[in-house]
Amino acid sequence: MTIEQELVKKLRSSNLRPTKQRLEICRVLFDRQKTFHFTISDLAQILNEKSKNKISLATIYNTVDVLKSKGHLKEISINSDKTFFDTNISNHHHFFNENTNELTDFYDEDISQIKIKKNIPGKKIKSVEVLVKVANNN
């Protein structure tokens, strides 16, 4: 399947018609090798630089919201200034570089196995994610 077909499929599976705006957004999000961490304004800026006819902010918000609710994007909370999203939707962990505000993914194989020894009655664990904050020594 070509990338373009993948993108269309992703949109259709979210009950979104593959319009040119949405495809443009999806290309930025998903047509890349590495995980992409972004805010709406990052994305809007990239889209503006990339294409001649600009896409309305409302469309960007709507598309990202739907992609998120359908599980194609994940929201990550590091600080509360802005909402970050992640194209890596697997259960994974983050390094947060306090000096540069950069995020780096890491996976279960990079951490010792985590066992939670306490539970909340009547509740089931849905996810376990670790946030490691790092900074320069000085």
DSSP codes joined into one string, 58-108: HHHHHHHHHHHHTTSSEEE-SSSSS-EEES--SS-EEEEETTTTEEEEE-G
Give 86's DSSP letter: E
Interacting residue with DNA among 2, 15, 113, 127 (CB under 7 A): 15
Enumerate binding residues for a copy of itself (CB under 8 A): 75, 77-80, 82-84, 95, 97-99, 104, 106, 109-118, 120, 122-137
Q: Residue 90's Cα: distance from chain center in Å?
A: 10
Interacting residue with DNA among 5, 6, 9, 19 (CB under 7 A): 19
Q: Are residues 30 and 11 in contact, defined by beta-carbon separation less than 8 angstroms? A: no
**Which one of the spans 28-36, 57-65, 107-115, 124-132 is the region binding DNA (CB under 7 A)?**
57-65
Shortest approach of DNA to residue 32 CB, angstroms? 21
User: Site residues for DNA, window 91-130 (CB under 7 A)?
Assistant: none
Nearer to DNA, 63 or 92 (CB): 63
Q: In which residue are the tokens 């670790």 written? A: 130
